[in-house]
């Protein structure tokens, strides 16, 4: 599992990651330090030392953004020959306990290639999200669905897992053009690689039982303008094939 980190020294829950590798012997983490300027590198070094050989860290020399950080981590993880690879937000807004829910989807549906967390506020679930982010997120989801020509509820949840095969590997071959909404670009690539009809049957959105809007997010309200522009560019490229 790839975990992009930028200035996460004060909020990285090392104990939760270590507990996961001890309880789940089939799970490991690749932490990508995206040019942090705080003590993130030291925190990761300590985490790796305590990780029973199943935690690794990549220290990028400068901040390149989440898209490039995730891609570099995924490419490194793929070199280990895993059956599954994914990425997870460092703040654990999606708790690691739900990894089991993701894997149960893959086990029950051998044709599924991608499982994506979806922050759906349903009765009996604990989705704690600021109202502003919820409503702007719904607007963005509409724009993303139009760009992809595919109804998708939540492209931006930072919890995604992929079954490793030729199609999902190819998604990460080229650098992402989008810095802000690479998740949408990723789905657009998968649709183009697999063919729309087939891809529609191989992507699964999993409503999360728990998600918490953790303080300290690097995303600011004005980033939404750039994000919408990136979606327009993805739509234009998709239209050109």
pLDDT in tens, 70-101: 999 999 999 999 999 999 999 999 999 999 99
Tokens 């860290």 correspond to: 57
> Which uninterrupted H or E stretch holds 34?
strand 29-34
pLDDT in tens, 132-167: 666 677 777 888 888 888 899 999 999 999 999 999
Domains, in order of start, for the chain: 1-92 (3.90.550.10), 95-241 (no CATH)
**Which sign does the torsion angle of CA 50, 51, 52, 58 carry?**
negative
Q: Whole-angstrom Cα distance, residue 89 to residue 213?
A: 11
What is the reported pLDDT for 241? Answer: 53
Q: Whole-angstrom Cα distance, residue 199 to residue 233?
A: 21
Q: Which residues contact 52 (CB under 8 A, 6 or more apart)?
A: 21, 22
Low-confidence ranges of the chain (pLDDT < 50): none
Q: Whole-angstrom Cα distance, residue 42 to residue 52?
A: 17
> Which uninterrupted H or E stretch holds 211?
strand 210-212
């Amino acid at each position: 599992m790839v975990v992009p980190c930028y200035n996460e020294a004060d909020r990285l829950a090392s104990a939760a990651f270590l507990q996961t590798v001890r309880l789940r012997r089939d799970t490991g983490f690749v932490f990508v330090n995206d040019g942090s300027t705080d003590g993130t590198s030291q925190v990761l070094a300590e985490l790796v030392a305590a990780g029973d050989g199943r935690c690794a860290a990549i220290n990028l020399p400068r901040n390149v953004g989440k898209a490039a950080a995730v891609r570099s981590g995924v490419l490194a993880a793929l070199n280990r020959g895993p059956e599954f690879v994914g990425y997870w937000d460092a703040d654990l807004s999606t708790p690691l306990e739900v990894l089991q829910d993701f894997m149960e989807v893959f086990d029950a549906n051998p044709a599924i290639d991608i499982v994506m967390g979806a922050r759906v506020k349903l009765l009996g679930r604990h989705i704690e999200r600021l109202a502003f982010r919820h409503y702007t997120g719904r607007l963005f989801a509409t724009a993303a669905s139009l760009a992809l020509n595919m109804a998708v509820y939540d492209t931006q949840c930072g919890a995604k897992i992929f079954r490793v095969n030729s199609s999902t590997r190819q998604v990460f071959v080229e650098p992402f053009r989008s810095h802000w909404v690479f998740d949408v670009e990723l789905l657009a690539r998968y649709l183009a690689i697999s063919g729309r009809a087939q891809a529609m049957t191989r992507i699964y959105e999993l409503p999360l039982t728990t998600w918490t809007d953790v303080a300290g997010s690097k995303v600011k309200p004005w980033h939404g303008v750039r994000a919408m522009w990136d979606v327009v560019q993805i739509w234009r490229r998709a239209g050109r094939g």
